[in-house]
Structure 1
Amino acid sequence: MRILPAIDLLDGKAVRLHQGRYEEATVYDADPPAVARRLRGKIDLLHVVDLEGAKAGEPVQRDRVREIAEAFGGALQVGGGVRSRAALEGYLALGAKRVVLGTAAVKDPELVRELARAYPGVVVLAVDAKNGYVATDGWTVTSQITAVDLVRSLGDVPIGAVLYTDVARDGTGSGPNVEATGALAKSSPFPVIASGGVGTAAHLTALAALPNVESAIVGRALYDGSLTLDDAIAAATAH
Structure 2
Amino acid sequence: MIIYPTLELKQGKCVTLTRGRLEEAVLWHVDPVQTARSFVEAGAEWMHITDMDGLQGENGNNELIEEIIRTVGIPVQLGGGFRARDQVERWIDKGAGRIVVSTMAAHDPDLLRELAKYHPDQMVLAVDIFEGSVMTEGWRSKSAFDPAEFIKAFDTAPLAGIIVTDIDANIGDSDASLGLITRLAAETRHPVIARGTIRTVDDVARLRYVPNISGALIGRALMARDVDLAEALAIAQPSSEPTAEFT
- The question of a shared fold, defined as TM-score above 0.5 by the shorter chain, is answered with yes
Contiguous gaps of at least 5 residues in structure 2 = 240-247
Q: CA deviation at 1:16?
A: 0.6
**1:196-215 alignment, distance < 5 Å:** 196-215=196-215
User: Structure 1: which amino acid aligns with 2:214?
Assistant: E
Shift of 1:201: 1.2
Q: Distance in 2 between matches of 1:17 and 1:143?
A: 21
Mark the runs of 5 or more structure 1 residues left unpaired by the alignment: none
Would the alpha carbon gap of residues 21 and 203 (structure 1) be closer, same or farther in structure 2, given more than 3 Å must change?
A: same
If the length of structure 1 is used for normalisation, what is the TM-score? 0.94
Q: Distance in 2 between matches of 1:31 and 1:93?
A: 25
**Match in the other structure for 1:191:** 191
Q: Flag as ranges the 4+ runs of structure 1 deviating above 4 A.
A: none
Residue in structure 1 matched with residue 166 of structure 2 by the alignment: 166
- TM-score for the superposition, normalised by structure 2: 0.91
Look up the match of 1:33.
33
- The alpha-carbon deviation at position 175 of structure 1 amounts to 3.3
Deviation at 1:60, TM superposition (A): 4.6
User: Which position in structure 1 is the counterpart of 2:80?
Assistant: 80
CA distance in 2: counterparts of 1:55 and 1:128, whole angstroms: 17
3-state DSSP of counterpart to 1:149: helix
8 Å CA contact 2:2, 2:46 repeated in 1:
no
On the 8 A contact 2:13/2:31 being kept in 1, the answer is: yes
Answer yes or no: is the 8 Å Cα contact 1:195–1:217 preserved in 2: yes
Find the counterpart in structure 1 of residue 53 from structure 2: 52
1:17 paired to 2:17: yes
Listed one character per residue, the Cα deviations across residues 114-143 of structure 1 (whole Å, up to 9, x for unaligned) are: 101111111000001102211111111010
Tell me the equivalent position of 1:141: 141
d(CA) in 1 for partners of 2:59, 2:147: 24
Instruction: Give the AA of the match of 1:68.
Output: I
In 2, distance between residues paired with 1:66 and 1:172? 33
Does structure 2 conserve the Cα–Cα contact (< 8 Å) formed by 1:16 and 1:171? no
Secondary structure of the 1:222 match is: helix
Any conservation in 2 of the 1:134–1:142 contact (CA below 8 Å)?
yes
Q: Secondary structure at the match of 1:135?
A: strand
2:182 maps to amino acid: G
- Please state how far the C-alpha of 1:59 moved relative to its aligned partner: 4.9
> Which amino acid in 2 is paired with 1:236?
A
| Alignment check: 8 A CA contact 1:3 1:43 kept | yes
Counterpart of 2:229?
A: 229
Which residue of 1 is the match for residue 113 of structure 2?
113
CA apart distance, 1:238 = 5.9
Deviations 1:141-170 (A, max 9, x none): 010102111110011111110000112333
Once superposed, what is the RMSD of the aligned Cα atoms? 1.6
Identity %: 34
Structure in which a larger fraction of residues adopt strand: 1
**Counterpart check, 1:179 vs 2:179:** yes
> Any idea what SS the aligned residue of 2:184 has?
helix
Larger Rg: 2
Q: Which residue of structure 2 lines up, in the alignment, with residue 96 of structure 1?
A: 96
Contact 1:173 1:198 in 2 (8 A): no
Aligned residue in 2 for 1:123 = 123
SS in 1 for 2:3: strand
Determine if contact 2:18/2:24 at 8 Å carries over to the other structure. Answer: yes
What amino acid is the match of 2:53? E
- Bigger mean CA deviation after superposition, 164-173 or 6-15: 164-173
Q: Deviations over 1:198-236 (max 9, x none)?
A: 111111112111010000000111111111012212332
